[in-house]
Amino acid sequence: MRLVLVSAVVSALLVGSLPAAEPTTKIIPTDWLPALAPSISATLEQLKEANTQGAMNTLSKQVAEMTDAQVFIAYVRLYEQLSTKERQALFAEQAKWLKAREKAAKDGVESTGGSLAPLELNSAAVTFSEKRLAELRARLKAAAK
C-alpha cells in the first residue's frame, strides 16, 4: 500500500511539475545513473540470510521500493524523449499499470492474514515491476535510435 501511495504521489508531482509544451525538458541529468542494482543485489543476499519473518518482510519491501525507483527512473527518461501527445499516453499507461501492479501484488498473497503475507505481496510487486522495467528500458532504447 505504501509503495502504491509513494508511486501515486511521485507521478502526480511529476505531471504537475512538467511543462506540457516542452518535450525536451530534462528532469534527470543524462549522465546520472543511480547505482540501484548493486543495492538490490546486496539486499537480496541479506534476504537469503534473514532468520526472522519480520526481517524478510522488511528486506523484501526494500527490494520492492528500489525496483520501483528503477521503474520510475526509466519512466521519466522515456517520458522526456516523447512528444506532448505521447507523454499524455505514457502517463495514462503508467497510471493504469500502477493500479494493475497493486492488484497483482495483492493477488500474489496466498497467506492472507499471516506474517508471510507481506513477503508474498512484496515479491509479487517486484516481479510485476521487473517486467515493466524491462519494457520501459526496451522502449527507451528504441526511442534513442
CATH of the domain at 96: 1.20.1270
Residue 29 lies in a domain: no
pLDDT tens-place string over residues 58-68 = 999 999 999 99
**Domain enclosing residue 60, as ranges:** 34-144
90 pLDDT band (50/70/90 cuts)?
Answer: very high
* Alpha-helix runs per DSSP H in the chain: 2-17, 36-49, 53-80, 84-107, 117-144
Asked whether the beta carbons of 129 and 98 are under 8 A apart, the reply is: no
Distance of alpha carbon 127 from the chain centroid: 10
Rounded to two decimals, the pTM is 0.80
CA–CA separation, 77 and 87 (whole Å): 11
Residue 98 lies in a domain: yes
Residue 54 lies in a domain: yes
> Helix, strand or coil for residue 28?
coil
Average of per-residue pLDDT values in the chain: 86
CA–CA separation, 4 and 58 (whole Å): 16
Query: Of how many residues is the chain composed?
Result: 145
Per-residue pLDDT, averaged over 25-45, amounts to 84
Residue 104 lies in a domain: yes
5 pLDDT band (50/70/90 cuts)?
Answer: very low
145 pLDDT band (50/70/90 cuts)?
Answer: confident
Check residue 6 and give its pLDDT: 46
Total domains present in the chain: 1
